[in-house]
Structure 1
């Protein structure tokens, strides 16, 4: 990856170069240039005579052989390189401190668990990318909505939530969007950023940010089971600055569109978005897809894919001024966890992501279903379990050629083959007792699964209700009881990513809303092979590759917007608003 500091360091050194000693005049420099360039021509006396006498005096002496031209060039190059090293080192300290000083960081204290190393000792990276709806700065306030002050996230929601997974072998990556109106259990959180805390509640997932980034990380981890130990949060103005820094981002819309809520107005076709237009595109929800938050996540994937392709294109990452401008804009607009709180760490992260070919970077959206308590909200669909497990278990969603994987395809090097418990670690079912707790709204789920376990030869266990509703099914096990938990998980078709360790002895199966019915966990076979393959993981997840430059955002065909109280489609609104300037040419 090109060092974004090099160009600036060189310029800094040039601006602050101390004055050197006066240049020594050569014998023929009497206030003019060399012969033929404005200086005096040599004559028969004076200095010319002195030079002739000197040559006569040295006659007979062996003159030193001049260095060959290539050696003179090499010596000159080495001198220049040495000088550049000093220049870069001098400017680098200033630049490093400047960019690192832009970054605001918050401790998350392991709120999202830790990633597991693969069999080669390599560790995947899982990051929660958050787009805050906070408007604390003057630049954010100018972009619309309410204005606040300070750096706290109190009162803020997560407009965007994406789990970014980079595989242990850096051969592939997955970005999974979680719709902001997903209903889930927010755990008890103590704000590490000085804001309010919560004892926990059932609510919309994006509201967890009000209790700090660590609470948002913990909530996503509890919902998905994906280990997350980093987060990056960007505010509204950051999107604007970054799109400007790369010279604009090229996107396509399938039809004329005017979202009267986000103010996005574009004619059908391709556009290069900068500034406010870029923000309007990534925020629009009424103009694209079905007019819900799902349509917005699809548009965001198109935008980010185009931005990534722009990053990797010739002339962007190889242009130091552009890289510096991008880095300066991004670091001013972001908040990260303390594990990413320096420009060196962020450059390392960017380098890891840059190793992944765009054809092996897959954008997905968590599969959803309607919430049973609110038709305008969603919960994870049963199929989401396969996607969560694929990410948690570091399984690629594309083959090495960039195509979607299918059932039975061999994973890439460095990925685990499946989540099946190790046969060597098995414990006979008769020696395993499981306490089952019902965390769903369906009466009798715990008793039904306890009966199913008994029918599979497990020892009798107790059943009852969980303390609070649970969105995700978990199987907790005490010290030294992992093998017993794997036996139970295998019998129920529960992926290993749903197993959690506990300080208390015994096995406790807490049934979540992701398992509403049946004796076998959705996506599992119940025959000892609970792993969901990549094909199941991307089913219904609107999976797209980052190298798909022909992807076009689908404009909603429903009457999702209105003008003067009259409902209409985004295309009708475009036609009716000739006096409204387009967001981009």
Structure 2
């Protein structure tokens, strides 16, 4: 009970006259002691603590408001449907995907690195990294997409103009950024079957500021070098601490390492990121609030992010998930590629390896060490819920109903031998349809045939035409293909089973194959020293 303030003598006298005579004082029992006044030091301490609390809470509020004011946002997914509607996000899952983009725009502060003619507006994606955090927080993969990877580019709603930018049947992936970062998100979603949760878009200035905030990142090269034709990166042989302009030059150089290919540039970027992750982990940055605030201040000032990430809890949530992950389980991957058939100076996905890798990501499959233990709240990927394209995982959405009713017996309401079933091989493995056709025949579906080899597709599907939904559902059940992969297609006569690169062997769908040597390195590896292109040696 709070103490009452002592009254003045005059006030006491007035109060006594109003009350009348006081009753006799109650006797003090042996278990009671008179109340003593609090010592002065305790009062001062209480006031000081209260003041500090008010100051801390007030300062925290100001800092949070400051971070919020720093933020620049853009829509997460700019992909649009045929009717012009923006594609809706799918239900959240336990795993988390963050697309990290680096733009080569020369707009604003970046004009010192070239002219607007070289890269105006949003620019092109100089760096495309997809960070995937598993549902149980035991695994992180960082996947690099080459800037000259040829892929389908979807129609996108421009972040700048609000107008729909027509897509391309096959275009260079880094060009999708011209319609905003959400268009790159949409392109990679369709390419991988994933649903990216967030993006971060950095320009040249952001890279400099972030490397400065970290106090530099250690790198190592096997020979003294100077990139006189582009980034002007100059390093002595051995280890160096790079930050600011030097860190930016290290990430920008396109010719200094290996054979000067874009893939060797990606290796250098992965090397830099691995070193940065080790430094952040060793210094406890993700659990040190002052350091974390400093980084957050730099990030929010210099990055464009999606609206869902534009709040402090979301940022802290990602940092919390990353804080305790074993560096040996942070893997760096480059999407499997091969020379593009129409232009060997570009690359295309190498199948079936790319499809197998994307399937592993969709299913939260561990790329390093033992598979993760089941999470208390399993992700949609881990439990097999439908991805964006709705073709992978366990049953989630039943196929459209057929006009025929299926009685509750083991005997179907149709003649299996009469049902027309085509099997298209989109697995990128020659002869893959043979054992699938044999399995269909054994099950009684003898009117089935090979529909030939078609362009590789990442996800297996069962398509059906008019009045064939029940047959398609039974075929999916026979091969243990998820119901979410069963789709109505009015152009199909009968049923067509499309074997994707996520099903490369056997007659039972669901076995995830992680391509051999898909992991280039892990964050616990120092990586030795990068090999310098001899054309850039200095002596």
Pairwise same-fold verdict (TM > 0.5): yes
Matched, 1:552 2:528: yes
- Contact 2:222/2:529, CA 8 A, preserved across alignment: yes
| Alignment partner, residue 98 of structure 2 | 127
Report the Cα offset of residue 319 of structure 1: 5.7
Distance of 2:464 and 2:69 partners within structure 1: 44
Matched, 1:384 2:354: yes
Distance of 2:98 and 2:249 partners within structure 1: 25
TM-score by length of 2: 0.72
| Alignment partner, residue 300 of structure 1 | 269
| Alignment partner, residue 511 of structure 2 | 531
Matched, 1:574 2:524: no
* RMSD (Å) for aligned C-alpha atoms: 4.3
1:187-202 superposed matches below 5 A = 187-194=154-161, 197-202=165-170
1:214-293 superposed matches below 5 A = 214-259=182-227, 260-293=229-262
1:412-491 superposed matches below 5 A = 412-414=373-375, 416=382, 430=416, 458=445, 459-460=447-448, 472=458, 474-475=460-461, 484=472, 487-488=475-476
1:430/1:127 CA distance change after superposition, 3 Å: farther
Distance of 1:213 and 1:471 partners within structure 2: 25
1:522/1:305 CA distance change after superposition, 3 Å: same
Matched, 1:541 2:518: yes
2:364 maps to which of 394, 398, 402: 394
Report the Cα offset of residue 293 of structure 1: 1.4
- Contact 1:411/1:417, CA 8 A, preserved across alignment: no
Report the Cα offset of residue 174 of structure 1: 1.2
| Alignment partner, residue 184 of structure 1 | 151
Report the Cα offset of residue 275 of structure 1: 0.8
The number of equivalent residue pairs is 462
1:28-39 superposed matches below 5 A = none
Matched, 1:335 2:304: yes
1:159 maps to which of 123, 126, 130: 126
Distance of 1:482 and 1:235 partners within structure 2: 52
- Contact 1:370/1:379, CA 8 A, preserved across alignment: yes
- Contact 1:478/1:503, CA 8 A, preserved across alignment: yes
Matched, 1:213 2:184: no
- Contact 2:460/2:485, CA 8 A, preserved across alignment: yes
Distance of 1:465 and 1:136 partners within structure 2: 46
Report the Cα offset of residue 179 of structure 1: 1.1
Report the Cα offset of residue 266 of structure 1: 1.7
Distance of 1:88 and 1:158 partners within structure 2: 41
SS of the counterpart of 1:108? coil
Structure 1 gaps, min length 5: 1-61, 400-404, 516-520, 557-569, 579-585
Distance of 2:473 and 2:463 partners within structure 1: 6
SS of the counterpart of 1:298? helix
Deviations 1:80-100 (A, max 9, x none): 443233112222333222211
Distance of 1:246 and 1:486 partners within structure 2: 57
Structure 2 gaps, min length 5: 1-32, 80-86, 385-391, 400-409
1:366/1:483 CA distance change after superposition, 3 Å: farther
Distance of 1:277 and 1:486 partners within structure 2: 60
1:98 maps to which of 66, 84, 91: 66
Deviations 1:530-560 (A, max 9, x none): 4224xx34x2424322122x2135325xxxx
Report the Cα offset of residue 320 of structure 1: 5.3
SS of the counterpart of 1:335? strand
Distance of 1:375 and 1:218 partners within structure 2: 26
SS of the counterpart of 1:238? helix
TM-score by length of 1: 0.67
